[in-house]
Amino acid sequence: MLEPASYQQVTDWLDARTAEPAPEDLATARSPGRVLAGGVSVPDDYPAAPTAAADGYALLSQATLGASDYNPLPLRIGSTVEPVVSGQRLPGNTDAVIRHEDTDRRGEVLDVYAPVASGDNVIPVGREARRGETLFGAGHVLRPADVALLIELGVATVPVVRRPRIGVVVVRGDVPDACGPMVRALVAMDGGAGDQPVHPDETGLAAALAGRDDDLLIVIGGSGTGGNDHAAEALREAGEVTFRGVAISPGETVTLGVVRGRPVIVLPGPPLAALCAYDMLAGRAVRQLAGRSPRLPYGTRRGTLVRKIASGLGRLECCRVRVIGERVEPIAVADNRTLSTAVRADGFVLVPEQSEGFAEGDEVTVYLYAQRY
């Protein structure tokens, strides 16, 4: 019989083993979506010289004084009247850009139909960024535009969190394997990398665990009781079992331990239990190793319960719900075994360990499954 550890105790243990993500340097062009492992500073003022902000002609603004549709000023193309395109550095003797639509070119003469002031259509030195400025701090997730700006600034590589290698080992002899692809997809969404799940047979399991070199190893199946404890036994043989069962539901048989100094999480084989135990424990570890927030990555919304949720004191319960407008409807509260309760749900409500549930009419927070893609 299992004596489950408290959720808090287990997350404290797991957090301590996943709190220091490993850094690596990466070409800036390949870094969208990655998490910065350190701050990024601006190497030089950008732009380094006044730069055209429009297509047209760079010129001296004072030469356009008084120009209008009724009084076009003819200027000779030359060192102080030069065609430029947006983004191009201004020639030395010019201080403004006039747009094509305010000019008319006849051979080497440019008729100017409007005045421009000094600095018009020009990006001044350092307008984008100042030398030494810290543009992004550690933990920032690089967005596509961030990457474009860093490339413009001449930042060739950035320090990012290395994608943690997450091994997925499937024990349960399901043919075909339903849990492996699910957990693999969850790992990828949480920022982990790794190969396809492997499926060693039960006799070779301990050796398979001992031979891995992942940052985190997720084993699926064999965490149960009676003859269904192959993975827990293999973990004991290959390393050590630290927690045999955790006070979460579904997923109470989840087992944690260590092999060669690396954390191992054995998820229960039934898919719903595997999903919930992944969400509450394994996903948290993957996200921490990937430099992300350990918090649940699902979008949330508030709503009002249309039926009560009863839960046992002392365990963290993940209750699947439907959301219809502001109404939150629990799905088959008693049914903690069928995956379709998660598939038919919009998300889930968590009932904390120290609570016996929520009453009809209570306002609750729903974590929304759908909002991760």
Task: Work out which of 16, 22, 49, 148 binds a copy of itself, going by CB under 8 A.
Answer: 148
Cβ proximity to a copy of itself, 259 vs 272, nearer residue: 272
350-353 contacts, C-beta under 8 A, 24 or more apart: 350/316, 350/317, 350/318, 350/319, 351/309, 351/311, 351/316, 351/317, 351/319, 352/316, 353/6, 353/7, 353/8, 353/247, 353/313, 353/314, 353/315, 353/316
Q: Which of residues 261-290 bind a copy of itself (CB under 8 A)?
A: 268-271, 275
Q: Which residues of 196-215 are buried (b: 16+ CB within 10 A; e: fewer)?
A: ebebbeeeebbebbeebebb
Residue 26 found at the interface with a copy of itself (CB under 8 A)? no
Q: How far apart are CA 272 and CA 253, in angstroms?
A: 12
Q: If binding is defined by CB under 8 A, does position 361 make contact with a copy of itself?
A: no
Name the minimum Å distance from CB 84 to a copy of itself: 9
* Shortest Cβ 31–a copy of itself spacing (Å): 8
Note whether 291 binds a copy of itself by CB under 8 A.
no
> Does residue 302 touch a copy of itself according to CB under 8 A?
no
**Minimum CB–partner distance for residue 146 and a copy of itself (Å):** 5
Tell me which of 151, 241, 296, 333 binds a copy of itself, using CB under 8 A. Answer: 151
Is 22 one of the binding residues for a copy of itself (CB under 8 A)? Answer: no
Establish if 85 lies at the interface with a copy of itself (CB under 8 A).
Answer: yes
Residue 186 within binding range of a copy of itself, rule CB under 8 A: yes
Provide the token pair at 70: 């009724």
Transcribe 220-250 into DSSP letters. ES--SSTT--HHHHHHHHHSEEEEE-BSEES
Phi, psi of 24 (to 5 degrees): -150, 155
139's tokens: 């933990």
Is residue 82 near a copy of itself by the rule CB under 8 A?
no
Residues 50-69, interacting with a copy of itself (CB under 8 A): 53-56
Is position 210 an interface residue for a copy of itself (rule: CB under 8 A)? no
SS (H, E, C) 84-107: ECCCCECCCCCCEEEEHHHEEEEC
23: which residues sit within 8 A by CB, 6+ positions away?
37, 38, 159, 160, 161, 162
Q: How many residues bind a copy of itself (CB under 8 A)?
A: 69
CA distance 316 to 336: 13
For position 372 contacting a copy of itself by CB under 8 A, the verdict is yes
Exactly one of 11, 23, 32, 307 binds a copy of itself (CB under 8 A); that residue is 32
Question: Judged by CB under 8 A, which of 60, 114, 138, 141 binds a copy of itself?
Answer: 141
Q: Whose Cβ is closer to a copy of itself: residue 100's or residue 327's?
A: 100
Whether residue 214 contacts residue 265, with contact meaning beta carbons closer than 8 Å, is answered with no
Cα gap 299→347, rounded to integer Å? 9
Contact residues toward a copy of itself (CB under 8 A) are: 1, 28-30, 32-33, 53-56, 83, 85-87, 99-101, 123, 127-129, 135, 141, 143-149, 151-152, 156, 172, 174, 176-186, 189, 224-228, 268-271, 275, 299, 335, 337-340, 342-343, 369-370, 372-373
